[in-house]
């Protein structure tokens, strides 16, 4: 990894976003789920139309990390107009954080997480929270090291399968 640049994505980045979203999702979850359930999820969440709608929705922030113009990872942060979680707190969700397989274990996840924490603090949020599959040991360890704590759980539906996600949160220091 040479020179990493992290920048916000816009509608012009749709092709890049679709590629990285599909590839990292398959790499992470194909080994744990049926082909039908994977196909269903990919069609529902990572179609060009769906991703474009999300990219132009002001409640979402997509960022990608580029290694000399090559996409190496991405994040999605999302705010809610009527949040159910964490009432009374100003919070933002880190809905996705994915490092491309060949870049994993090189410090990129740390860079993207720190970027997300700084971004959320500068925007005035008090808390960053996320959901993580209960069996995703690697990600759980990664979040715990960053000081995230479990505060609940929710059901994540992948095709016909219901899975349990832990909800984790981290208090932010004011920027």
Least distance from C-beta 101 to ligand COA, angstroms? 8
As annotated, the active-site residues are 143
Cβ-in-10-Å burial (0-12, 13-18, 19+) of 77 comes to buried
Binding site for ligand COA (CB under 6 A): 28, 97-99, 104-110, 132, 136, 138-139, 141-142, 145
Nearest residue (CB) to ligand COA, 107 versus 124: 107
Specify the residue, 51 or 130, whose C-beta has the smaller distance to ligand COA: 130
Sequence-ordered list of residues with C-beta below 8 angstroms from that of 4, at least 6 positions apart, any chain: 65, 66, 67, 72, 108, 111
Q: How far is the CB of 73 from ligand COA (least distance, A)?
A: 6
Beta carbon nearer to ligand COA, 48 or 102? 102
| Letter string b/e over residues 33-63, b meaning 16 or more CB atoms within 10 A of that residue's CB | beeebbebbbeeebeeeebeebbeeeebbbb
Closest residue (Cβ) to ligand COA? 109
- From the CB of 172, what's the least distance to ligand COA, in Å? 19
């Amino acid at each position: 990894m040479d020179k990493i640049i992290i920048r916000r994505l816009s509608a012009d980045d749709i092709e890049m976003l679709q590629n990285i979203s599909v590839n990292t999702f398959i790499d992470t979850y194909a080994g744990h789920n049926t082909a039908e359930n994977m196909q269903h999820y990919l069609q529902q969440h990572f179609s060009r139309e769906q991703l474009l709608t999300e990219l132009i929705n002001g409640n979402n922030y997509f960022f990608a990390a580029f290694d000399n113009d090559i996409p190496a990872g991405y994040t999605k942060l999302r705010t809610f107009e009527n949040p159910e979680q964490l009432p009374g707190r100003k919070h933002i969700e880190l809905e996705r954080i994915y490092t491309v397989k060949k870049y994993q274990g090189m410090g990129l996840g740390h860079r993207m997480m720190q970027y997300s924490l700084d971004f959320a603090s500068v925007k005035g949020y008090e808390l960053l929270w996320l959901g993580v599959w209960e069996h995703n040991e690697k990600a759980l360890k990664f979040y715990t090291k960053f000081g995230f704590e479990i505060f609940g759980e929710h059901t994540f539906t992948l095709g016909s399968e219901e899975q349990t996600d832990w909800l984790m949160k981290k208090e932010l220091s004011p920027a």
